[in-house]
Structure 1
Amino acid sequence: MMTNYLFSNHDTVALAEKYGTPLYVISEDIIRENLTKIINAFTKQNATYDINYAGKAFLNLAMCNIIKDMGVSLDVVSGGELYTAYMASFPMERVCLHGSNKTVEEIKMAIEYNIGKVIVDSKYELELLNAICEEHNHVMRVSIRVSPGVEAHTHEFIQTGKIDSKFGIPLKQVRDLFDFSKDLKNINIIGLHCHIGSQIIDEEPFLVTAEVMLNLMKELKEDGFSLTELNLGGGFGIPQMRHDASFNVDQYIEKLMSTVRRICSEIQLEVPKIVVEPGRYTVGTAGITLYKIGTVKEIPEIRKYVSVDGGMTDNPRPALYGAVYDAIVANKTLVSEEQEIVTISGRCCESDTLIKDIQLPKVEPGDILAVLNTGAYNYAMSSNYNKIPRPAVVLLRGDEDEIIVRRETYEDIVAKDMLPSWQK
């Protein structure tokens, strides 16, 4: 008997038939499970902590509501993300504004909405923020983003904590920046921030980073700055293939808090509040993308190409980073199915390879392909390249499924176009 692939207890073939393809499918239950693991890990350690969900991974009104209900904070990196949180009535005191080049308009929005905190990325931004806050008679809580010089073993493009990076203040310049900040009356520096990269499976770089940052906090305390918060960013890796190991959050938090407490005891520093920013870890495994298979083209003794009705417009990460994904033929899940090695190609007028050389049951046009772990940075990074409309997003909860972002239409594609007067 043929059985279809179930994701979060939902028949994926039925979802594809109901909503069409390509289709982003997000499980609220899995999002909540992932966040609960982090909450429980910190609670077990009796830690003072906060979780800032990294909204850039996946953000819309429904996602804001889930995060809000979980009691988790939210970090945003643009005016658009901040506005989304505002429209979702997200508690502004739990919002943190990131970004390496915040605009004047975004800073003014942050002040107008009275958000909880700004992560400052440069001396220029610190001056700018102070000046705008002064104009609005506002004092903003601030953390300073530091480049700690720790290089995680991840893709070069998603390493953000190394010295040669557009992000943060180089470690050797931080004390000078704090000295400069003494005359800035409209900012209140409460802590330090860092983020060493994404898709990190090894916990050791995080522990090394914590030691570097705590020693910096000690130096700053000696300079007269008592900081109460250390934000170690996100970057917790998720499985790329079905059988890959998951990042052990419980073990990491246990080792992290043990390391933090030991170092603080050694250097006589009060243990700060620890903040983490899980984006991919929160939503990555909570999402899949469903495609319909179209053209199947075999080049004898070279490769068999299987084309789907989506591609780099709904998932640009393989093209950008060489990101690796696993997939299942949703309507052919029996182990006894005849297997073959194929390459999954997208429909864009580019090389547009989603998955190279994957073993799947023998596929035919009309089959449904489920690409796994696409919850993070797929919808968020989608585009209209080749004038292709973006897919819909469906949210699952229990046995319910509903659209939370509608499928774009061709009318949407041209809705913002305007003709110059001489063409009318």
Structure 2
Amino acid sequence: MVSTLESAPTSHRYLPLTATANPSPNQSLLPLTATVSGADHLVIGDCDVPALVARFGSPLYILDETTLRTACRQYREAMVRHYPGESLVLYASKAWSCLAVCAIVGSENLGIDVVSGGELQTALGAGFLPERIYFHGNNKSREELELAIATHCRIVVDNWHELHTLVDLLVGAETPVSILLRLTPGIECHTHEYIRTGHLDSKFGFDPDQIEAVFAYVSQQPALRCIGLHAHIGSQIFELQPHEDLAGVLVQWFQKATQYGLPVTELDVGGGLGICYTEADDPPTIDAWVQTVGTAIAAACEAQDVPLPRLLCEPGRSLVGSACVTAYTVGSQKTVPGIRTYVAVDGGMSDNPRPITYQSVYRSLVANRMGAPLTETVTLAGKHCESGDVVIAAAQLPPLMAGDIVVVPGTGAYNYSMASNYNRVPRPAAVLVGQGEAHLIIQRETLQDLLRQDCIPAHLQSLTETRPQ
């Protein structure tokens, strides 16, 4: 017997699925398919989570295909409902770039946003057409720009250096390159200072006082075909008003670009919609976010007598974040009387650097004892040699023992993509689950993998050959 989490023991009442007919994935702490089995185990995609750990090891990223596809469809369908013009949803692949994730969003008829040569190569490997790939970044290398030109993807130009480099690379080119210009709108939003990108004090984009000079310069470059404008105001945003404000600013710039003769037809409003990491988080639904953006752009165009552009948006976290959980195995414990109890797991900052980087807060549960009362508050610590390697500072959990499987939800965005080999720890495996089947999409790194790129100079060879065995 399998029950939904909504009927699970009250000890886990902070982990319900969204109780609506069409839940917005970004509002759910767990993937949409999460259930509790008769054996009191967490089940995702009809796969028993403790069984997945027994089969694939831990730490383990578990990605629910249904949740990811649902988010893709909700964005795409909401665009059709709420924006009267043409539109395209782009997946911001920096959230999680791998062949399988990119292939899923591509099969859902989304385009893709990449920020490096590696992400571009991954998108191409997953089957994306170049005209549906948009290449961002504030310091693209000459080699990356050459790759972008060769593959005919769209290039989102961030600064003067990049403009001049492109013009230099395109001397004698017969076909112009399609570009968008990234502009800094000067709009603040309430989010972590590291992930605010639209305010004036930002490393990204052309500032407002540069815009007309940029338009004038690009209009004189036959090798550049400026098809649109882009702006992005930040990440993990729960407010809708800043996106309304952005629409008015972008449409004003769009109108100004046409006055310089630029053939602009696209406006890219970026992304930034937040997700639930704890029960206190209350982000808008995907539909509400798209409605705000689509309605605001259409209204601004009507007010300024501007033809409707092709509207682009770039969700990342709100597409894949809630679709994935990370499973760990409990190891050692240490109680400091009167202060705290540390419970260590077999991962930490190398597979989830967000807590130590952004002070991000997560929730957790015990996948092999879902009904156990949450009677203890412990510090869920990572295994790395770093005092700050704490997954959750105050985790509410049942009494734990070595071998328990602790699951942390909301780890689909910026976890694998920011993972490291700190302490020479191999990066985890990832599996895609759905309809009772689990497919390996990222192999677990081995100790041999860690040495694969190492090189030993010739004068050190004798040391390695004579070392004690």
Match of 2:381 among 345, 348, 351: 345
Q: Deviations over 1:317-364 (max 9, x none)?
A: 111111111111111211x52511011110110020111112111111
Q: Does structure 1 residue 16 correspond to structure 2 residue 53?
A: yes
- The AA in structure 2 aligned to 1:167 is F
Report the equivalent of 1:146. Answer: 183
The residue correspondences of 1:76-155 to structure 2 (distance < 5 A) are 76-115=114-153, 117-155=154-192
The answer to whether the Cα contact below 8 Å between 2:426 and 2:445 also exists between their aligned partners in 1 is yes
User: How far apart are 1:282 and its partner, in Å?
Assistant: 0.8
Given candidates 305, 318, 331, the residue that maps to 1:281 is: 318
Aligned to 2:22: none
AA aligned opposite 1:80 = G
Distance 2:340 2:157 in 1: 49
| 8 Å Cα contact 1:2/1:333 also seen in 2 | no
Query: What corresponds to 2:255 in structure 1?
Result: 218
Report the more deviating stretch, 146-155 or 265-274.
Answer: 265-274
Of 89-98 and 369-378, more deviation after overlay is shown by 89-98
- Out of 176, 186, 191, the residue aligned to residue 228 of structure 2 is 191
Question: 2:104 maps to which residue?
Answer: 66
Shift of 1:242: 4.2
Question: Where do residues 291-306 of structure 1 align in structure 2 (5 Å cutoff)?
Answer: 291-306=328-343
Match of 2:414 among 374, 377, 381: 377
Query: How far off is 1:271 after superposition?
Result: 1.6
Between 1:369-378 and 1:234-243, the stretch displaced more is 234-243
**Contact 1:8–1:30 (Cα < 8 Å) also in 2:** no
SS in 1 for 2:79: helix
* Residues 308 and 344, structure 1, Cα contact 8 Å, conserved in 2: yes
Q: Distance in 2 between matches of 1:77 and 1:368?
A: 35
**CA displacement, residues 168-191 of structure 1 (integer Å, 9 cap, x when unaligned):** 001221111111112211110011
Question: How far, CA to CA, are the matches of 1:76 and 1:318 in structure 2?
Answer: 24
Number of residue pairs aligned between Structure 1 and Structure 2: 422
2:224 is the alignment partner of 1:159: no
Native 8 Å contact 1:149 1:162 kept in 2:
yes
Counterpart residue type for residue 363 of structure 2: D
CA shift for structure 1 position 131: 2.1
Query: Which residue in 1 is equivalent to 2:95?
Result: 57
Compared CA separation, residues 257 and 87, structure 1 to 2 (3 A): closer
Deviations 1:142-192 (A, max 9, x none): 110011000111000000111111100012211111111122111100111
Q: In structure 2, what is the Cα distance between the partners aligned to 1:307 and 1:295?
A: 5
2:28 corresponds in structure 1 to none
Give SS of 2:171's match.
Answer: helix
Q: Tell me: CA distance 1:13–1:146, structure 2 relative to 1, closer, same or farther (3 Å).
A: same
Which residue of structure 1 lines up, in the alignment, with residue 345 of structure 2? 308
Residue identity matched to 1:49: S
Give the aligned partner of residue 394 of structure 1: 431
Distance across 2 between alignment mates of 1:258 and 1:95: 25
Give the conservation status (yes or no) of the 8 Å contact 1:47–1:257. no
Task: Measure how far apart 1:134 and its partner are.
Answer: 2.7
Contact kept, 8 Å, 2:85 with 2:309, in 1: the verdict is: no
Following TM superposition, the consecutive aligned residue runs of length 4 or more in structure 1 with deviations greater than 4 angstroms are none
Q: Residues 130 and 185 of structure 1 are in contact (CA less than 8 Å); yes or no, is this contact kept in structure 2?
A: no
Deviations 1:253-311 (A, max 9, x none): 22322222222122111121111001111100011100001111111111111100000
- Give the SS at the match of 1:149: coil
Q: Which amino acid aligns with 2:382?
A: G
CA contact (8 A) 2:344 2:382 kept: yes
SS in 2 for 1:278: coil
Map residues 175-190 of structure 1 onto 2, 5 A cutoff.
175-190=212-227
Provide the secondary structure at the position in 2 that maps to 1:275: strand
Deviations 1:36-66 (A, max 9, x none): 1111111112441111101111111112211
Residue aligning to 1:244: 281
Displacement after TM superposition at 1:103 (Å): 0.8
Write the letter of the residue equivalent to 2:432.
L
Quick check: 2:273–2:283 contact (8 Å CA) kept in 1? Answer: no
Superposition CA RMSD, Å:
1.5
User: What is the deviation of 1:2?
Assistant: 4.5
Comparing 256-265 with 302-311, greater Cα deviation is found at 256-265
1:206 and 2:249 correspond: no
Paired with 1:366 and 1:47, the residues of 2 have a C-alpha distance of 54
The letter for the 2-side match of 1:78 is S
Q: Which residue of the partner structure matches residue 265 of structure 2?
A: 228
Q: Residues 243 and 292 of structure 2 are in contact (CA less than 8 Å); yes or no, is this contact kept in structure 1?
A: no
Name the CA distance, whole Å, in 1 between partners of 2:174 and 2:51.
56
Aligned-partner Cα distance in 2 for 1:186–1:223: 16
Distance across 2 between alignment mates of 1:213 and 1:93: 22
Task: Summarize the alignment of residues 317-336 of structure 1 with structure 2, pairs less than 5 Å apart.
Answer: 317-334=354-371
- With normalisation by structure 1, the TM-score equals 0.96
2:44·2:433 contact (CA, 8 Å) conserved in 1? no
Return 5+ residue gaps in structure 1 as ranges. Answer: none
